[in-house]
Structures are given as structure tokens and as C-alpha cells.
Amino acid sequence: MAEIGVIGAGSWGIALSWLLTNNGHKVTVWSVIESEIEMLKTSHEHKDKLPGVKLQDSMQFTTDLESTCKDKDLLVFAVPSIFTRSTAKQMKDFVKEGQIITSVAKGVEENSLMRLSEIIKEEIPQSRVTVLCGPSHAEEVGKGLPTTCVAGADRKSDAEFVQNLFASDVFRVYTSPDMLGMELGAALKNVVALAAGMADGMGFGDNTKAALITRGMAEITRLGTAMGGAAETFAGLTGIGDLIVTCASVHSRNRKAGYLMGQGKSADEAMAEVKMVVEGVYSAKAALQLAKKYNVEMPIVEQVNDILFNGKTPKEALPELMMRDKKSEHSALPWKE
């Protein structure tokens, strides 16, 4: 049995806490929100974020960050990406040398363009940071539905340590050394999912969705490989796998926010209705900045940014995507004549 502290009591943090407890580990969940912790202590259920998932009696809940971090075999970092740096700063003095931390949120910091694992490592330099991502909605993990993810780390032993803690008969975990590719795929798929949701909200069909998923993956792969990620990563669970589930699922908050925008709501109105952090909105600007930095063409990301921040409507963005210059799908493939 491992002692595990989960930093963040959102839907994903709670679902993973349920999974880890079910695997026989002792889990303590932290949240800065006192009313949230009181609700979890009283009902052992997150009635707002993950209703219907009954949490085990052995699970502990607290607002005490120090006790959550100290003397733990693993810390699971599950706060939304916009709070990653501030939370890491608060944790620093409570984290022991060599502590393994697993980042499970998704995003890229807008100003620094840093991945979440890089932020945690910068703020808590004594830690060994790993990541866990893949096609995995909290609503399904919390019900014990079969799910597959990837544990990424610089050290193989760290990835295997995380793999062993999370793996179960309903949660299969692979390992990978490509944290850069994994985190980029996890963050940027949320931007494409906004576009997919917009298409749904405008009443378009499966043809449109398939095109957005495929061309969106092409954009993510172009940027990711330019930054040093492996092409294999983007063809795997944390690339195309995560993109498919986020663009297609009724559980996807990014798709839902996009859907509402496709129906005419503003980004702020859509996020207010979703009632959870819509990571794609915060990653969109960073994705566009990275595209410019690495001189990579990302037309879907560009149009999403224009819709979110420059007053363009989804209806205005569509013809700009459809009527771009004609080109080959794979320019590197040779013609016979």
C-alpha cells in the first residue's frame, strides 16, 4: 500500500482518488475550497463535479496542504492548469527531496509557454516530475469503465512506479519517455475540441467532425515534432486517442463549450454554463504563440483564437478554413510522375 496525496478535488482528481483507493492505497485529497472539503467529508461524493460516484470511507479530505504533501510515496497534481504555478509555490516547502509528483492536468502556460511538468519542476526543483494522460474522462473512470492511459517520465523507473500504482483490471497504463509530446497532445487537443464542438453546435455532421479531428491532429503533430516530440506519441493514446475522445464525447467540457459557441454564445457565456474550467480556452493563446515561435502552420488554432478573442463568429471562420489554398495532404509523399 502506498501513501498518496492528491492535490486538487475537481472531477479528475476525485476520479483518480477513487481509482487509487480501489487499488488498495491510502489517499488524502486536498482542496483550497473549504466548502468542497466539507461536502466530501459529509457525503463522500462530489455532488457538483462527479455526482453518483461514491467515495470509499477510507479516503481522507483536507484543506491542510502541508499534511497532504508530507511523508507521501506519490503526489498527484490535479489542479487546473491556470492554478499550477501558484499551487506549486505553496507546496514547495512541504515536498521532500526526490519526491515523485504526477501531473494529471492539461495545458500550456500562456506567458511562459511552459508545459505543466516544467512549471512544477521550476517551482519545486527537488521533485521528480512525471505525467499521466490519455483518453480518460473522469465520469467513466469513476464508474470503473475500462480506460487506458500513459505514464510519462524522464526516468524509466519513475514511469514504471506510477504505472504500478495506477494500473488495475479497469485502468491499463503504458509508459513513455516523451513527456513533451504527451503534454502537448493533451493540451492542444482541447483547442481542437472547441472547434469540433462549434461544428456540432452549428449543426454540421460526421464528415465535418472527422475532418477537424484529422487535420487538427496534423497541426498538433507538426508543432509537436518541431518542438522535439516523437511522431509516435501523436499517433498514440495521448495524441489521436485523447483527441478523439475529447472531440466526440458528451463528457467533454471543451466540446460542450464549443457547442454553445457554435449556437451563438460568447466564450464567457459558454464557460459560465459549463461550470468547470475549459482548458482549451486558456491553451489556445499559448498554442498560437508556439506556432509562431516554431514557424508552424496551424489554421484551426488560428481560427479558434479569432473566435475566442477577436470577435469572429464560427460561421465566419468556416469559409476561411475551407477555402484556403489548395495543397497535397502529405507534401512529403512523392508522385510517380
**Tens of pLDDT along 134-154?**
999 999 999 999 999 999 999
pLDDT value, residue 275 = 78
CA 316 to CA 331: how far, in whole Å? 28
Judged against a pLDDT cut of 90, whether residue 250 lies above it is answered with no
Query: 34-46: per-residue pLDDT in tens?
Result: 999 999 999 999 9
Looking at the chain, the whole-number percentage of residues with pLDDT higher than 90 is: 85
CA-to-CA dists, residue 35 to 122, 133, 208, angstroms: 31, 28, 42
Confidence (pTM): 0.93
What local confidence, expressed as pLDDT, does residue 76 receive? 98
pLDDT, residue 243, reads 96
> What band does 326 get if pLDDT is binned at 50, 70 and 90?
confident
Does the annotation count 189 as an active-site position? yes
Lowest-pLDDT choice from 93-97, 124-128, 279-283 = 279-283
Q: Of 82, 88, 17, which Cα lies nearest the Cα of 53?
A: 17
Q: Would you say residue 323 has pLDDT above 80? A: no
Split at pLDDT 50, 70, 90, the class of 219 is: very high
- Domain 180-322: CATH class, spelled out: mainly alpha
Q: Bridge partners of 152?
A: 131, 176
Q: Predicted confidence band at 324 (pLDDT cuts at 50, 70, 90)?
A: confident
**Edge-to-edge strand ranges of the sheet holding 3-7:** 60-62, 26-30, 3-7, 74-77, 100-103, 128-133, 147-152, 171-176
Active-site position among 72, 121, 189, 285: 189
pLDDT band at 47 (very low <50, low <70, confident <90, very high): very high
DSSP state at residue 160: H
pLDDT recorded at residue 20: 98
Q: What is the pLDDT of residues 287-301, one digit of tens each?
A: 999 999 999 999 999
Mean pLDDT for the stretch of residues 329-336: 86
Q: In this predicted structure, what is the pLDDT of residue 329?
A: 87
Q: 111 with 82: CB under 8 angstroms? A: no
Q: What pLDDT is stored for residue 321 in this prediction? A: 84
pLDDT band at 330 (very low <50, low <70, confident <90, very high): confident
Matching residue, cell 464525447: 249
User: With respect to CATH, is domain 3-177 assigned 3.90.1150.10?
Assistant: no
CA–CA distance, 74 with 68 (Å, rounded to integer): 10
Mean pLDDT taken over the chain: 94
Q: Mind listing the pLDDT tens digit for each residue in 161-185?
A: 999 999 999 999 999 999 999 999 9
Domain spans in the chain, listed from the N-terminal domain onward? 3-177, 180-322
Task: Name the residue among 188, 205, 198 with its Cα closest to residue 267.
Answer: 198
